[in-house]
Amino acid sequence: MVHRISTRNKLLLAFGLNAFFYPVVLYVNLDGANRQLAAIFGEIFPIVLSEYVVGALIIFGWLFLAERIHEQFERWFGEEIISEGGILPNVAAVVTFAAANVVINRSGLFFIYWLQTQILEKPDFSILEETEYARMAIRFNYVNYVIMSLFVYYLLTHRRIMQRMGEATLRAEKAQKERVESQYALLRSRVNPHFLFNSLSTLSSLVQVDGDKSERFIDRLSKAYRYMLENRDRQTVPLRAELDFLQSYAFLLETRFGDKFRIETELPDGVIERAQVVPLTLQVLVDRALKTNRMSAKSPLVVKIRATEDGLRVENNRQPRLEPDHTIGDCDWGIFESCYLMLSPNGQRTRETTDAKSWVVHIPLIENEGQSSSVPQTASTRHPYSPKGAGS
């Protein structure tokens, strides 16, 4: 948001600008004898002072008017066209300010001389006489103040551009900071000591009873951690790569929890091939379900991943725990919401819905370049990314 100049600063700027423009007007309007400093600061000083003050107040009013005109031009022509100096807004600015100057300066001229009649015994009405000099002086005043008003307009344009550049820089710095923080949070939460301890404990028990399965467990554990480390610096990964990782991760969880937990995934091949997601999105959602829900062989926790018209739907049945399971890795989902808001087309957000039976998260998919954004209207088939498939 561009902030307007404060009234105090407008007033200071108006008197400062008039100190630059008014001496030129004075030099043109005064005859030879009155151009002497003794005359300017003597006999005609009240006239000079009144004209300077009134001129500064006119500029003060111009600053308010110029801000309004500038805002209106941005609505008409667009912020980018104004910033790039398009021909149309520049022509419109010249015409608008020239027309307004004719009205305002003419009114100001009569006001100055009316003011002189109130405070001076011998007001100077020479500029209102029907002479070539008077007409030339008036024309010069018009031109001078048109230039002044355009100067004010472009000063405001420069100020607004600089403000927006500053805001863009702050947003970029904030986004970079959030990205660094999210990377740190992801890495810290993914390499969770409790998860590693539980995995090693599970592996220790497997080695005693099932050598072949323990080898598969080690292979899936190494793949899972390799994926976490290799993708910690990436903003997005292919959905297929994320599902490959989920397959390994699901195998580790199934081995630990047995029939108490399962993942069901049904996604069309077209969606899998073209879509991108933020790394570890599915793992975080699975962990949230595990952390906050009970599970048993009779009432297993089921996480379902489906395609929707505009993304993915990740759902699990609700069986709330009294206390969260602190052996499950923790991560702030708000970080992922910020990532999707920044990366998804048209700034689409993640959406959560909860009722007594289920908890659902809708995730916008980030399309691969050159691909369509709609989900194919074909029947989805079960994809082999599931704990049962992973364990075979």
Query: How many structural domains compose the chain?
Result: 2
Q: Which residue range forms the structural domain that includes residue 202?
A: 191-391
Average pLDDT over residues 316-332: 82
Amino acid at site 84: E
The answer on 114 and 209 residing in a single domain is no
In the structure, what pLDDT confidence band is assigned to residue 372 with cuts at 50, 70 and 90?
very low
pLDDT digits (tens, 9 = 90+) for 99-149: 777 777 677 667 767 776 776 666 666 656 666 666 776 777 777 767 777
The answer on 229 and 155 residing in a single domain is no
Domain assignment present for 186: no
Domain termination site, one of 117, 143, 171: 171
The answer on 214 and 281 residing in a single domain is yes
The answer on 222 and 319 residing in a single domain is yes
The answer on 236 and 136 residing in a single domain is no
The answer on 358 and 289 residing in a single domain is yes
The answer on 247 and 109 residing in a single domain is no
Instruction: Round to whole Å and give the CA distance between 319 and 103.
Output: 75
Domain assignment present for 181: no
Report the mean per-residue pLDDT for the chain: 76
Instruction: Round to whole Å and give the CA distance between 199 and 193.
Output: 10
pLDDT digits (tens, 9 = 90+) for 270-302: 888 888 998 888 988 998 899 999 999 999 999
Smallest CA-to-CA distance from 271 within 224, 306, 245, 233 is with 306
Instruction: Round to whole Å and give the CA distance between 217 and 252.
Output: 7
Domain assignment present for 2: no
Instruction: Round to whole Å and give the CA distance between 138 and 127.
Output: 7
Query: Which phi and psi angles does 293 have, rounded to 5°?
Result: -130, 145
Domain assignment present for 179: no
Domain assignment present for 180: no
Residue 279: CB partners within 8 Å, gap ≥ 6? 186, 231, 232, 234, 236, 237, 242
Residue 240: CB partners within 8 Å, gap ≥ 6? 272, 273
Q: Which residue has the higher pLDDT, 285 or 385?
A: 285
Domain assignment present for 102: yes
Domain termination site, one of 103, 137, 171: 171
Provide the pLDDT for residue 314: 95
Domain assignment present for 370: yes
The answer on 215 and 110 residing in a single domain is no
Domain assignment present for 107: yes
pTM: 0.52
Q: Which residue has the higher pLDDT, 344 or 239?
A: 239
In the structure, what pLDDT confidence band is assigned to residue 187 with cuts at 50, 70 and 90?
low
The answer on 143 and 198 residing in a single domain is no
